[in-house]
Amino acid sequence: MQTNVEKLPKSTLKLTVTVPSEKVKQAYEKILTDVVNGAEIPGFRKGRAPKEMVLEKTDVSSLYGEVVNELLKTYYSQALKEHLIQPIANPKVEIKEFDLDKDFTFIATIATKPDIKIGDFRKKIKEQFEKLEKQDKTLNEERLRKGEKLEDVHIHLTVANIIDNVVEVTEVELPEILIEDEIDRMLSRLVNQAESIGLSLDQYMKSQNKTSEQLRGEYKTTAEKNLKSELALSKLVSDEKIEVSDKEIEEMIIASGDKTLMDQMQNDTEKWYIKSVLAKNKLISQLINEAEGEKAHDHK
């Protein structure tokens, strides 16, 4: 296997991998053996039909597709390990051709974790709280002048306040692949919502008088903010050394009464995700309490 890594703008890498033809043939034989072993041909026991007969009844393009998937799965992972690359999204893969008698080359465009600079977020959040207090004071003074009864309302920062202020002082160049990936996820959610009311995506877009390009363009700003906030909060969780114990995770799940979540706890990926969400929530609560100071005890 030969590999080449080229650095592109915005924390993106272009990885070119060339697999020798003999390895391509080995992958082909492996896939073909699996196909033969699973083949059910009349007159033969399962997996006992001659290879040539199975090939005659097999869609070659589908077979080659499985070989390509096997090569990508094997050699993409190897190339990542060789160059110590840690992707943060699925790669964009380009394949020029596939021929059993030739070397197999593919190009993977990869998004890696970008550098993040976060400004004085504590000052920004404190200023937000002071602004809310000033607005509340002005409103109460106006009510007093009008002889209205003042309500005993406590001003508090919201989760949105914290995220917006952190994002505002964060500088990061997001990989385009990452943005496109997030837009695709948002569109997927939209498709599910449209289907739940009996509409296809095309029908929904027609009802809104929008094209798919316009919709993606509108979603881009939201996608960038989502990614920026996610990366910034993750960095702050690390910088602030926010810890979440297994006990805290279990207590949260028990409190929710969700058996599905409890089952998912056996999966390391799901466990990491839940832990990540709790850590960000803990961080946000900590920042709210710091900014509100002595008034934080009134927070509900």
**Mean pLDDT of successive 10-residue segments in the chain (300 residues)?**
95 96 93 81 74 76 92 96 94 92 96 96 95 88 81 83 96 95 91 87 86 89 94 96 87 72 65 87 94 68
Tokens of residue 268, six digits: 């390391």
Q: Which residue has the tokens 């050394």?
A: 241
Predicted confidence at residue 158, as pLDDT, reads 94
Question: Nearest 5°: phi and psi at 170?
Answer: -105, 135
Continuous H helices in 101-245: 121-145, 159-168, 176-196, 201-207, 212-239
Predicted confidence at residue 231, as pLDDT, reads 95
Predicted confidence at residue 182, as pLDDT, reads 93
Question: Which residue, 48, 93, 50, is CA-closest to 68?
Answer: 93
Task: Classify residue 148 by its DSSP letter.
Answer: P
Hey, what domains does the chain have and what are their CATH numbers? 2-113 (3.30.70.1050)
Question: In the Cβ-directed half-sphere of 90, how many Cα atoms lie within 13 Å?
Answer: 10
Predicted confidence at residue 299, as pLDDT, reads 46
Q: Are the beta carbons of 18 and 103 closer than 8 angstroms? A: yes
* Three-state DSSP class for residue 176: helix
* Three-state DSSP class for residue 297: helix
